[in-house]
Every structure is written in C-alpha cells, then in structure tokens.
Amino acid sequence: ELAAAQTGSAAASRRFLFRARPPPSCVSAGRRRKRQQTGRAVTRQQQRPRRGPDTASLMSSSPLSKKRRLSESETKTGSNCSSGKSVQTDLREAPANGMAKNGSEADIDEGLYSRQLYVLGHEAMKRMQNANILVSGLRGLGVEIAKNIILGGVKSVTVHDQGVAEWSDLSSQFYLHEEDLGKNRAEVSQPRLAELNSYVPVTAYTGPLSKDFLGSFQVVVLTNCPLEEQLRISDFCHSQDIKLVVADTKGLFGQLFCDFGDEMIVTDTNGEQPLSAMVSMITKGCPGEVTCLDEARHGFESGDFVSFTEVEGMTELNSSEPMEIKVLGPYTFSIGDTSSFSDYVRGGIVTQVKMPKKISFKSLRCSLQEPEFILTDFGKFDRPAQLHLGFQALHEFHKKHGHFPKPRNQADAAEVLALTKELNEQAPPLLKQEQLNEDVIKELAFQATGDLAPVNAFVGGLAAQEVMKACSGKFMPVTQWLYFDALECLPEENKDALLTEENCSPKHCRYDGQIAVFGSDLQAKLGQQKYFLVGAGAIGCELLKNFAMIGLGCGQGGEIVVTDMDTIEKSNLNRQFLFRPWDVTKMKSDTAAAAVKEMNPHINIVSHQDRVGPDTERVYDDDFFENLDGVANALDNVDARMYMDRRCVYYRKPLLESGTLGTKGNIQVVIPFLTESYSSSQDPPEKSIPICTLKNFPNAIEHTLQWARDEFEGLFKQPAENVNQYITDAKFMERTQKLPGTQPLEVLEAVYKSLVTDRPKTWADCIAWACNHWHTQYCNNIRQLLHNFPPNQKTNSGTLFWSGPKRCPHPLTFDIDNPLHMDYVVAAANLFAQTYGIVGTRDRAAIAELLRQVQVPEFTPKSGVRIHISDQELQNANASVDDSRLEELKSSLPSPQQLQDFRMFPVDFEKDDDTNFHMDFIVAASNLRAENYDIPPADRHKSKLIAGKIIPAIATTTAAVVGLVCLELYKVIQGHRQLESYKNGFLNLALPFFAFSEPVACPKNKYYNTEWTLWDRFEVQGIQPDGQEMTLREFLAYFKKEHKLEITMLSQGVSMLYSFFMQPAKLKERHDQPMTEIVTRVSKKKIGRHVKALVFELCCNDDSGDDTEVPYVRYTIR
C-alpha cells in the first residue's frame, strides 16, 4: 500500500546500514543467499492502513479568503535596504489553529512540522525560527536551497539576484516559466517561494550586497557568485560572526563551502537517540567498572559521557555530573574514581549524554589556501583537491573573458587547464598536486555552462541542511569544503564523437543547461521515455520536479504515469513541496501532476489513484508494463517495494529505488541482466518486545506505549469487528472455533462482553465502563501481580524477584482531580461510546459529576491465579480450551437474528487528528502504566512518534536523495552496461557521511552448461501450432526433450499443479488436461483476460537424477 510506512525504533537506523530482502516469487526459495551489504540502505517498515482526511487537518489547513500584508516587523531583514528594490507578496492569513509568524515568541506548529520535529527536535526548531536567511543567486541551485530552507521553517528568507531569466535557467529553475524570460529571477520566484510556508516571510531583493544590508542576517548563502565577491562577503561575514554557505554547480560537478565562525557550538553531532542500559554491577575503584545486564550490548563508545539514575547503594552516581567512559567490552565500561563512594547494592540505569562540541572555522580566504575536505566518494580520493583548483581556474577564466568556457570548446578548455596548472604551481605545499588529472579539469571546463536539476537537487539539499545546522547547532557541519562529481553519467563509449561542440551548443530552448552537458541527442531520447512513478509523496514530488526539469516524457511519444491512492494531509506540506494548504484532502497524484505541468507545460503526465498490487493487475497489465522504459519507486513500505521489484524483474524493466529516514537516505539502481534486484537479500527480523514484558514487566516507555496501542486495538477495534462478523457472517462461529490455542475462548468472551455485560445504553454507562476499566488496569491487576510476587520475594537462587529488568510496580488510586486520570476517562469513554454510536462529550465538569455516581466494585486479590513470567513459560503452559465455558458462551450470546438492526463501529487508529481522542487515550494509558512501574513518562510528541511508528523526515534529505536517483536515471536512459558506471548510495546529512558503491552483480547459477540469473527464464508457448493448448503430459515431455530436465514438482503461485508423489488417480486425471484448466481447478480462480502468460516454478532433476536449480517458466497463453 502507498500509505506511510511506520517505524520509530532504533533498529530503523541500523536497517539503513544493512539491508536485505526475500527474492521475487518467480525465483525459487532455494536461490536465497546472504551477502555483505556495503553502502546500501533502505527504510523497511511495517505497512499501516491508508489514512483518510481528518477534520482537524481540514480545519487547520483550509485557506481563508482574506489576505494580510505582513507588518514591517515581520518582514524586515535589514535596516538599510534602500540601496535596492525589495518586493514581498501577501501571504495567506494564518489558519484558525494559530499559524503565527516564526520568532522567539512563536509556538511550533506540530501539525505542520511533526515529521521534521522528530529529526531536529523542538530546541533546534526554535533556534531556526529566530534566523533570517539571505540566499543570493536564484538560478536552479539557489531556488533549490531557498525552497528547502523555507519548508524548514526559519524566521524569514530574502532571495537576491540582479540577473534576469535566460533559456539556460529553465533546465533546473522550477519557479521560472518561459514567459518569465528577461525578468529578474528573484522577483519572479519570490511569490512562488512564498507559497511554500505561510510561517516564513519571503522577500525579493535586487540591489547590491552592501555591508549594511548583509549585517541583518544570521546566515548568508551565495550561489552563482564570482570568487572576488565571495571573498569580500566572506571577510565581512567572518568578522561579524555571520555564518556563510557558498554553493556552486557546473554540469555534473558540485562545490560546497561552510564558514560558521571562529567558535560554533554543536549540541548534537549525530542526531541519534541517546543510548541507555540497565546496570547489574558497579565496582569501587579507580576507575570503577560498570557491568550492564546481558540482555543487549550497551552500544557505548570510549569517550562517550553518561549519567546514572536509580542506582541503589552507590547513590552518589545519581547526582554526579556526566562522566566520560572507556569501553572495556560489549557489556562493561569504566568510569571515574568510585573508591570513596558507598557500596553498590543493585539497580540503576545508565544513559548517554550528548555533550556540546566546539568547532572553529577558517574564513574563505584562509581556507582557499589551507582547505579541509569532506569526501563524498571514497573511490575518488584525490578528486577534491583537483576540483578545488579547477573551480578557482573557472573563476579566473570568467574574470578574464566575462563568460564561462563554451560547451565542448577545446580552446577554452585548454585555457582553463593552463590556468589550473598556474594555480597549482603557486599553491602551498599541502594543496599542490603532483599531477593534475587533465581529463577531469577539461571536463569541468566543458561543463561550466551546464545546469542540471539532479546535481542542483543534491548539492541544494546538502547546502540547505548546512544552513539549518548553522541556525540550530544541530548536527555536524561540513568542515569546510565538499566537492562532488558524477562523471559516470557521461557516455561510456564514443564520448568525444557523441558530445561535440555543435551538439552541445545552446539551442535557445528550456533544456540548454542540460544540452551543454549531454548534447541534444540525449535530450530527444529523454523526451520519448515512458516511465511509471509509484508514489507521489515526498520522494515522488521531488522525482516529478526533476522529471519535468530534465524533460523526461516531455517529447513526442513520451509519458509519465504516476499513481498514489492517498490524499494530502497537513503534515505532508512540510516536505511534499508540490502541495499547498488549499490542496489538503485532494488526491496526491492529481495535485502533483498539475503542479509539475505548471513547471514544464510540455510534460506528458497521467495521474492514477490505484494501489499497486495483485488487485490492480488488470490496470497495470502486460501491455502497460511492456510499453514502459522504466519504473521509479517512491514508496514507503516494504511490501509494495517488493511487489514492484517482482514486476520489474518479470517484465525486465530498470527500477530506481530510494528511501529516507530523517537525515539518512539511500538509493539503489536495478538494471536487467546486470545487477541483483531489490529483493535479492533479507533483513534480520526486527526484535520484538516479549509478551510477558508487555503484560506484566515493562521497564521502558516503549513497552507501555506498545501496551497502550494493544489496548486501543483490543478495546475499540477488534471487539467491534468481531461483533459485526458474528451478526453478518454465518460461518463466523465455525471459523472462530478452528482458531489455535485459547483464541476461540478469548474471541467469544470479547463478543459476549460487547453484546451483554459491557454493552452501554447511555453516555453515563460509557463513563462507568471507563472508570471501572481504569481500576482494572492500574489498580486491581497490579494488586494481583503483587499478591503473586510480593515486593521482597526472592527467587530460588536467592536474588530478588523484582530486580534487573523487572521493575516492582505499585497500584494507583483514582483521583478525580488528577488531570491524567481524567484524560484517560474522557478519552476511553468517548472512544467506547463511538463504538456503539453513542454521542459523548468533552465537558470535563459534566464527566466528573457522572464519575462521582459510579460505584466501583471492591477487589480482593485471588490465590491460584497463574501469571507467566516468561514467554517460554507462556508457550509451555497448557493452552487447552475450556469447552464447557465455550459452550456456555455460545448459548448465552444473543442470536444474530435478534441483532439484525444492531451494528458496532470499529475505531481505526489515526495519530494525526488531535480531535479524535486516539492519541489522548494512548498518552494517558501509557503514562498511567509508566507511573505504575516508575518509568519516566513521555509527552504527546514522543508518544506519537513511538506509538504511531512515525518515520522522521526532512525535505533536505529527500531533495539530495532524489538528485542522486536522477543521476542514475541519466545512465539508465543512455543504456550504460558497465556495472562500475552505476552507483548505489547511502548518505547521512547529520554526520555528514556519504558512501557510494557499484551495485552487486546478479548472481549466476548453472544447470548443465547453461548459466542463468534471476533475469532469465524458460519461455514456453502454451498454444501449439494446431491451436490446441499444451497438456501437462506435453509440458513434462517438452522439458525432458528440449532441456533434458525431469520435472519433479510444478507450481503456480501457491498452487501445486504436479508432483512426483501425487496420487496416481489424480495424476492420471491431470496428465491430459490443458495447463490453464489445471491452474483454474487447483487455484479455484479464473484466469483474467488481461493475463497473457502464467508463471510456473519448477523443481527438476538432471539426467543423472540430481536435483538442480533452474529458472522459472513464462508460459504464454495469449
């Protein structure tokens, strides 16, 4: 399903580094293998049901008819702006939920920024909301940076440019249209940028960058700027502690420089959640040694700082300052001097503490001579220093001639090379290169006028993230130079013949910036492509923007088909930049298609609202796929990814795959007959929380939140669904009795409660139910648990039962004046009422009055109640069903005929609607249970992340990842066949870290002397020359004769069609039946008219009788 994939666990980060998946269904299970994963990543999340639009989102995001002129205090970014022209448009009035301007006094709109808040945190966001940003240069790179910063939510953005729109700008500047040629780039772009985020005032400025003007900004970004101007502005900014980012792109080359002052404080260098572990022992000594429980490795590194809580005995640690540690082993580490502390008794939690880090930056002038480089590709170790000189040589050329070198002009390239050699001779010893890579320098000169949307997306995403780091102190900045190139995108063969000066010269069209790099022939080929984009969310929006800019499917015969069955929600607007507040509730695919049509009217795009899967194979059938040139995935769940991967393997279509999680991102390219597929490897299963931990022994807020989610499903969804099935489905009882273990009894008990004992008649009954359930869960069950296992009970080994991971609970006493207790009752009563169609209320005073009338039954703990202390004990327990109780329930239930007019209303969990009581219940239920066990509670924001399994997301990562995807697209369309030309990539913008590796080649298998891979298959024509279809006997004989293979088993999907151990009578019956008839009979499904071929899987013996692996069969029937 295209709906959001969900995870909030630490394991998600790990899955970015090592990723593996099961093979496509058309490949036999015996072919699975494990392999080392290098530089590969993906988000692998559980799928959740599609969300519909919620009323809260609609109310808070709907545009108002009135507009307002922002006051001077909101928009002013400098006290002396009179030297140039300044333009600002009206922004839409703040919606009713209080969308105020950004600034120190502003609250953060969690509805809009929720996914980004999980990346940056509230403190970093608040610091960003106090930052005024200048972005100078509004060509493709500048507008990309501005877009990402505005979406991020800074205080204000001023866009500056003194140039006018030209044809070459349109290849990547997505807010310039053909009718804007000759107009100032900043003035034209400003109103379109302003629509991105109504919290962020956007101003256009067209005057010179004077010191007075620059002085009012916290961060200055320079793009498309001469080196002399960069140096002048850098000197001023460095002296005034104004942070500076310089970014530039030339064709397939990119450059990024950061100067954040003499002393910058980084509060969090990596953005990861602090680690914590439970302590089992601390020694007295110098240093003291800490041993953690051996349930899991502590994960700390030497040099980390930690703090302690809940230590008994050695209580001095609980109040000590953060202590630096030295790791001794996976479960042990040493701390400072503990010799004078009290003796350790038991318990304790140790938690990693993020310590501020000071970083000092050189000015641009100093750093030019003494550069520090961040590597983007370890395979190009010497490239940054070469490009550092080459970019300076380009500036020298421009200073001398007033223009950059012409595309593929040999004389200009030779002059740039000569200038680079001069600079190298004059360079200080550390920078001086023994030998220049002349081919790279000449290529830089050839591409100097190139302007590519994917490169701008990648560098623009990085640059915008650096701006956010500069504003917030969150994450490690680039220190200080970053260079990037993607020369693998150029033709693999005959480059000089294909890329001539004439072929790459300007054509006075919107693709001139791209033609300068790749020539006009590839441009024509791009226009003819037919591509299928699956998903129109964050990655989908960025892909569509890039497709429109590069001209994919924009020519005769070309087409983009995009499908997404989801609607736009308010939380999407922070990163799915094609959508606006007034688009909320509209279909994503339709809205995105219309938006990119505005960017490039020539794009041929069709939008669908279909989910990809077996249900839609009548739409996305053989004809559809066979007509495609390729597929791009923009999905957020593994099942849909794997389904599309299987389809691409079957139809032999290239697949572009990508994913993001916060500041992490990955790309994978799948090429027929060359690389492995997305599904060629598997992740280890994600660690789940043991049932007994959830039920009786939680020790972390994650446990209580999962328990609360299970409560939600077990109270407000599953019983209502079961009741409705009981009433409407005649076979419900029969199916229920066939369930394993104690499930039949549990299901029928729940149905009986819902229909008889707990069924409310009034709103007051719902209040009483909520109150009684509160007492059951937070008082009575805890008292029973403590009756079974008293606080001081010891195990057979003499240790306390309530020790280590087992936290001793205490019962709660209901207090009508306790807000948390009331939160629970209000939410639980309203949700319970909803399931019965009873109208509730939020009136807490009225609810309190009804609560005072509730009589709560006395509870006395019982002896003989069995409580399992481990999942193993639970599994070993007698799971037999009490048949007498089962029969009693069946006879006590009202008959379905008596309930024909009665229905319940199951509640589907929806985390993003703050009016529906769902998160109210989860937060209250979880925090009450946390109070039972003395676990620190979680606020609503953190609870939503964990319980809602939200994927943290930020626009910068999405832009950068999609830029890399589209660079691979250039290679796919040119038909690159060398494995080393392609790049799978992984990045983490927080560190920053980049890793690229060539894709893994598709593994080769062999039967007899025939080699085959997952892309190969047997092609069998089912219809014979005489028009008759092949029978099973003929099918078996065909393989024996043509391939010397004896088929021992034959299946289609989950249906076994033939096996050597099949009963003789059944075998005799099937032998002379046509293959399609056997498939229809065994599967009990008709073969759709849209199906041209069937997929069969085989187990075979060779002529020596040994089992041998073989490809699948494509059996053509039409």
Structural tokens at position 1031: 């029978």
CB-hemisphere CA count at 13 Å for 690? 17
Q: Distance of CA 165 to CAs 138, 175, 185, 515, Å?
A: 9, 11, 5, 17
**Which residue reads 């194979």 in tokens?**
617
Q: Give which of 827, 1018, 954 is closest to 121, Cα–Cα.
A: 954
**Which residue reads 């039972």 in tokens?**
932
**CA–CA distance, 467 with 715 (Å, rounded to integer):** 47
**CA–CA distance, 158 with 81 (Å, rounded to integer):** 11
CB atoms within 10 A of CB 64: 13
Buried b (16+ CB within 10 A) or exposed e, 822-849: bbbbbbbbbbbbbbbebebeeeeeebee
Q: Classify 1103 as helix, strand or coil.
A: coil
**CA–CA distance, 922 with 911 (Å, rounded to integer):** 10
Annotate 814-883 with DSSP letters as a single string. --TT-HHHHHHHHHHHHHHHHHTT------HHHHHHHHTT--PPP----TT----SSHHHHHHS-----H
Structural tokens at position 822: 């009331």
Q: Classify 975 as helix, strand or coil.
A: coil
Q: Give which of 818, 820, 790 is closest to 806, Cα–Cα.
A: 790
**CA–CA distance, 650 with 24 (Å, rounded to integer):** 9
SS (H, E, C) 705-733: HHHHHHHHHHHHCHHHHHHHHHHHCCCHH
Alpha-carbon torsion (1067, 1073, 1075, 1080), positive or negative? negative
Q: Classify 17 as helix, strand or coil.
A: helix
Q: Which residues contact 925 (CB under 8 A, 6 or more apart)?
A: 704, 707, 708, 711, 712, 777, 824, 828
**CA–CA distance, 632 with 596 (Å, rounded to integer):** 16
**CA–CA distance, 532 with 632 (Å, rounded to integer):** 6
- Burial (Cβ within 10 Å: 0-12, 13-18, ≥19) of residue 26: middle
Catalytic residues: 692
- Burial (Cβ within 10 Å: 0-12, 13-18, ≥19) of residue 183: middle
Total residues found in the chain within this entry: 1118
- Are the beta carbons of 815 and 821 closer than 8 angstroms? yes
The one-letter code for the residue type at 1018 is F
Phi, psi of 307, deg, nearest 5? -130, 160
Q: Distance of CA 777 to CAs 303, 369, 771, 932, Å?
A: 43, 68, 10, 10
SS (H, E, C) 471-539: HHCECCCCCCEEEEECHHHCCCCCHHHHCCCCCCCCCCCCCHHHHHHHHHHHHHHHHCCEEEEECCCHH
- Burial (Cβ within 10 Å: 0-12, 13-18, ≥19) of residue 809: buried
- Burial (Cβ within 10 Å: 0-12, 13-18, ≥19) of residue 1100: buried
The one-letter code for the residue type at 767 is I
- Are the beta carbons of 250 and 392 closer than 8 angstroms? no
